[in-house]
Amino acid sequence: MHGVEVIGALALLDLVRSIAEEPSSELLRHARLVVVPIVNPDALHLNCARLASGRGAFQRCNARGVDLNRNFPRLRPTLPANPLGGSRFRASPHYVGPHPLSEPETRTLHDVAEAIRPRVSLAFHSFGELLLYPWAYTSRPNPKRAQYERAGRAFVRGLRRPTYRVMQATEWYATVGDMDDWLDAAYGTLAFTIEVSRPMRRLSNVRRMANPFAWSNPVHAAPSIAGIAPGARALVREALAA
């Protein structure tokens, strides 16, 4: 969804591989799995081209400059004070767009959700080693908080390295037009975001500090991805049982 957050897509693909390789996958027996590995192909292509030529990569938004995870139907009319949560400034990397669902990418995800009415959603982003759940637009507790927390505990127990924190998204920072908030409100979906990997250790190198791509992706992907798949499978099992 964000063009610089490649580690999230790699973690998702590792999860899909782990499910497909199970001889008799419990999840596939009891649920329909729908996978969207790349939501923002234009930004990914641009970033890969820049990296291949030795340049810094920074494209977070889609080709029209819209932050796709600020472009879903909003649950509040005003934008948060923190510009990271959504901005009307077109040059901002968190630009909300001219109106909700203005972008082909978000409209496509809307159509997918409308067709399947998902019970559970997992979005893979980076960074922070966090498992976030709605609401992102308000600090008011979600009515399904107990279900979210139970699934979150299952996720942490399933990890090989249980370092992830589970929290309501607004504890991280408030946003509007967030996909998880919209899925929860529109379809009753238990919608989670997994923020894959940590940023701090890899930013001590000055050269990497100057490359925005490095802020969201580790030098070595495997250690950051390892162990997430069992946690994610445990989360989905618990959420489906709710």
Q: Does residue 69 surpass a pLDDT of 90?
A: yes
For residue 133, the model assigns a pLDDT of 98
In angstroms, the CA 77 to CA 176 distance is 9
Q: Note the pLDDT tens digit of each residue in 174-184.
A: 999 999 999 99
- Angle at which helix 104-116 crosses helix 179-187, to 10 degrees, equals 30
Mean pLDDT of 5-18: 93
Among 3.40.630.40, 3.20.20.70, 3.40.50.970, 3.40.630.10, what is the CATH number of 6-241?
Answer: 3.40.630.10
Q: Note the pLDDT tens digit of each residue in 152-162.
A: 999 999 997 77
Q: Note the pLDDT tens digit of each residue in 109-118.
A: 999 999 999 9
CB atoms within 10 A of CB 139: 10
Q: Does residue 209 surpass a pLDDT of 70?
A: no
| Better-predicted residue by pLDDT, 163 or 36 | 36
For residue 146, the model assigns a pLDDT of 97
For residue 158, the model assigns a pLDDT of 93
Instruction: Give 106-166 as a 3 state SS string.
Output: HHHHHHHHHHHCCCEEEEEECCCCEEEECCCCCCCCCCCHHHHHHHHHHHHHHCCCCCCEE
Q: Ranked by mean pLDDT, which of 155-164, 201-210, 213-222 comes out on top?
A: 155-164
For residue 163, the model assigns a pLDDT of 86
Domain range summary for the chain, segments of one domain joined by +: 6-241
27 pLDDT tier (thresholds 50, 70, 90): confident
For residue 23, the model assigns a pLDDT of 67
